[in-house]
Amino acid sequence: MTTISVFPFSDENLPPFEGLVPANTVFNLVKQMPDSFHILYKNGKLIFETEENETEFEFKLESPDIFPSPNIPIPVASLTFLAEDLYTVLNSVSFFLPDNEKNYHIDGICLDFREEQGYAVATNGFSLAYVPLHPLEIEGKPEGDYIIPTSAVRNLLKLLQLLPQEHTVALFLHGNFVSLACNISGFDHQLAANCIDARFVDWREFLNQEYSATISFTPVAFLEVLKRMKIIATKSVHTVSLSQWKSGIETKINVPDLGEAREFSRVDVFGEFPEIDFDVSLLINALRPLHKEPLVEVDLKDSHTPMRVRGRNYTCLVMPCARN
């Protein structure tokens, strides 16, 4: 749910009203509207009225549970970002959000400020991505972590996509929620969301892994290899095997009744590693945020150690699959 505040200008004696409306409902409704329409507040309802056909769309505003009053509490800290930079950070780790509500892992992105360097982190239980936060400016002292629900992350990304790349936005950290403030065409906008009241996984314990081999390659080319492998993958067989080859690596998938597919890629390999199986979809998601980078490095060890994918400002860990 998205919070909306209605401030009447025609009657100074009428106090502002604040309530909740479904974000998707408003978004789909506005898309259907002509270039000119009216938004009215009457008897606890928002009314979208067009002059052309005099039809009305209305829905009741629910009482808000995000704010106890129309006034937003003073934030603990605020971080100023370029809209493009914040979008890139949230979007890159959003590939690792749980894909369904029944997933027992935390369904959201964690903004982790437990140490001096802040990170955006997300995990689906099988892979984990973390990206350092580099705001233009910081006011206050951000501490702890703030877990933004997946639904709110999607709305934040939609809002950031509307802004020019060089536009700046302010991310406010409150006690139990976060809010994003920006100005679009002269109008101030603020999107707020309750944080998930939970302790995020201690992901830093995975950062000190030792690896026996490093692969260096162009992500776009290897992504195409994985996409071709995924074509013949099924719900029951969706793992690919990575192994060393004479002057690179071999990628292989074997699907009963369909056959085997294998491709050899000439890449730089430093060190040695055994044949390891991975979920092909997880590998694609791990490399997708890096498709514009000229070179990435992948660290490997064995079938019990997570693969580490490293870009310029992005790191991802992918757990291997158990071998049959």
Are 156 and 102 in a shared domain?
yes
Residue with token string 């935390």: 106
| Confidence tier at 118 by pLDDT (50, 70, 90) | very high
pTM score of the predicted model:
0.73
Are 184 and 217 in a shared domain?
no
pLDDT digits (tens, 9 = 90+) for 46-80: 666 766 654 455 555 444 333 333 455 678 899 99
Are 88 and 194 in a shared domain?
yes
Residue 157 gets the label, from left (phi > 0), alpha (psi -120 to 50) or beta, of: alpha
Total tally of structural domains belonging to the chain? 3
Cα of 269 vs its chain's centroid, Å: 31
Residue 287 gets the label, from left (phi > 0), alpha (psi -120 to 50) or beta, of: alpha
| Residue 194: count of CB within 10 angstroms of its CB | 16
Quote the pLDDT of residue 43.
60
Are 227 and 184 in a shared domain?
no
Segment 159-186 shows an average pLDDT of 85
Q: Per the structure block, which two tokens stand in for 32?
A: 């259907």
Cα of 129 vs its chain's centroid, Å: 10
Are 236 and 308 in a shared domain?
yes
Asked if residue 163 is part of any domain, the answer here is yes
CA distance 83 to 168: 5
What b/e sequence results for 138-170 when a residue is b if at least 16 CB atoms lie within 10 Å of its CB, and e otherwise? Answer: eeeebeebbbbbbebbebbeebbeebeeeebbb
CA distance 159 to 114: 27
pLDDT digits (tens, 9 = 90+) for 95-108: 888 765 545 467 88
Asked if residue 67 is part of any domain, the answer here is no
- Where among 141, 170, 204 does a domain terminate? 204
Are 90 and 190 in a shared domain?
yes
| Confidence tier at 324 by pLDDT (50, 70, 90) | low
- Where among 179, 204, 229 does a domain terminate? 204
CA distance 197 to 147: 8
CA distance 223 to 309: 13
Segment 22-34 shows an average pLDDT of 68
CA distance 128 to 70: 37
Quote the pLDDT of residue 26.
67
Asked if residue 167 is part of any domain, the answer here is yes
Quote the pLDDT of residue 22.
62
Q: Rg of the chain's alpha carbons, rounded to an integer?
A: 24
Are 195 and 219 in a shared domain?
no
Asked if residue 324 is part of any domain, the answer here is no
Residue 42 in contact with residue 174, Cβ under 8 Å?
no
Are 298 and 218 in a shared domain?
yes
Q: Residue 24 sits in which domain range?
A: 2-60
Asked if residue 270 is part of any domain, the answer here is yes
CA distance 58 to 49: 9
Are 186 and 100 in a shared domain?
yes
Residue with token string 């492998």: 229
CA distance 91 to 25: 23
Q: Domain holding 215: CATH number?
A: 3.70.10.10
Residue 251 in contact with residue 265, Cβ under 8 Å?
yes
